[in-house]
Amino acid sequence: MIFNLLTNYKQSPILKMNLPYSILDLAIIREDYDAKDAYERSLQVAQKAEELGFTRLWLAEHHNMANVGSSSPQILIGYLANGTSKIRLGSGGIMLPNHSPLIIAEQFGTLATLYPNRIDLGLGRAPGTDQTTATALRRGRHESVQEFPSDLDDLQRYFSEENIDSKVRAFPAEGLDVPIYLLGSSMSSAVLASQKGLPYAFASHFAPGYLINASKYYRENFQPSEHSQKPYFISCVNVIAADTDEEAHYLATSFYQTALGIIRGKSYPMKKPVNSMEGVWSEPEAAAIQNMMACTFIGTKESLKPQFESFFKQVEVDELMVSTNIYDPEKRLRSLEITAEVLG
């Protein structure tokens, strides 16, 4: 168990356990395997998630990371949708400053046409990479996070039937109902989501610092819109579940090693688990990772339940999204089974 960030905060009067639960996937590339394996494992996860009753699976856009295969979520969403039948699929998210809003509308309009009532469009304002790579992605364009609100307006307009008389129209997006979610890890994203009246997904799985304040602000300042009449808050957390606590903590060492790479500014495929992290990380690195991954739940069905109960007492969420990065594909599927048993 790592979950410890919120213990000094006032508890929420609302306790939810039987709430929708979903998956965030990065098509993780494993040591000794390639991206094709990662995509096949993502499909396996999507099919298992559908069987277990998960609401949705989102893919995150990242670039220049040797362990992440989801640099093109739009393409992978189509691949996963073709191999499943009912689970919702989407981006968690598309980093809009990297793209033209018109292109994103066309791409997700195409997906929504092929797979109706199954496609979500989650949007972030960060580049999903380092600054040098962000510059390469944008090829001299000067868009920045400051343009994100206006880009969002453009994107929503392309999906609107009211854009019919515009000189620039998005086909086949125009008139389609593709739910848009705002993603973030800061107060600024909470402000924008509340102003726009959009569902809001918070990246507490790697940046939990503003989780409670952002959630509170979003709910208290939410302005109903044509897209959503009431706030809808998703929190993403890390979950590593197994049949014994010892096994769960062993499996979590692959996740720790990935986090260690982030701390050290290095990118490498997901490493195999190790018996101990002693000698792998230093004490300061371990402390930094503990803080960064404070919303991480590790254990069995029995030991996870009180962890989740404590979380839900302190943070009011409408949906829980889990990120489960485990080296062994079968162990990952078992983790999802246990997670569904706890949350279902």
pLDDT > 60? residue 12: no
Residue whose tokens read 């989501």:
193
| Spatial contact of 50 and 80, defined as CB atoms under 8 Å apart | no
In a domain, 6, yes or no: no
In a domain, 74, yes or no: yes
In a domain, 4, yes or no: no
pLDDT tens digits for 16-46?
568 999 999 999 999 999 999 999 999 999 9
Q: Which of 143-152, 153-162, 190-199, 304-313 is predicted least confidently?
A: 143-152
User: Residue 8's pLDDT is what?
Assistant: 42
Average pLDDT, stretch 166-194? 97
- Confidence class for position 268, pLDDT limits 50, 70, 90: very high
pLDDT tens digits for 282-308?
999 999 999 999 999 999 999 999 999
pLDDT > 50? residue 14: no
User: Residue 18's pLDDT is what?
Assistant: 80
Query: To the nearest 10°, the Cα dihedral for 333, 36, 125, 265?
Result: 90
* CA separation for the pair 203, 234 (Å, rounded): 9
User: Residue 182's pLDDT is what?
Assistant: 98
Range of the domain at 99: 21-343
CA nearest to 236, candidates 205, 191, 260, 210? 205
User: Residue 13's pLDDT is what?
Assistant: 45
Count Cβ atoms below 10 Å from residue 281 Cβ, excluding itself. 18
Average pLDDT, stretch 148-161? 96
**Residue 106, domain CATH:** 3.20.20.30
CA nearest to 56, candidates 232, 186, 196, 192? 232
pLDDT above 90: percentage of residues in the chain = 86
- Confidence class for position 140, pLDDT limits 50, 70, 90: low
In a domain, 242, yes or no: yes
In a domain, 87, yes or no: yes
pLDDT tens digits for 101-113?
999 999 999 999 9
CA nearest to 101, candidates 141, 150, 137? 150
The model's pTM? 0.93
User: Residue 16's pLDDT is what?
Assistant: 54
Higher pLDDT, residue 125 or 75: 75
User: Residue 9's pLDDT is what?
Assistant: 43
pLDDT > 50? residue 279: yes
* CA separation for the pair 187, 202 (Å, rounded): 10
User: Residue 137's pLDDT is what?
Assistant: 66
User: Residue 4's pLDDT is what?
Assistant: 52
pLDDT tens digits for 327-336?
999 999 999 9
Higher pLDDT, residue 119 or 137: 119
Q: Which residues in 109-144 are b (16+ Cβ under 10 Å) and which e?
A: bbbbeebeebbbbbbbbbbbbeeebbeebeeeeeee
pLDDT > 90? residue 133: no
- When divided into structural domains, the chain yields a total of 1
User: Residue 7's pLDDT is what?
Assistant: 44
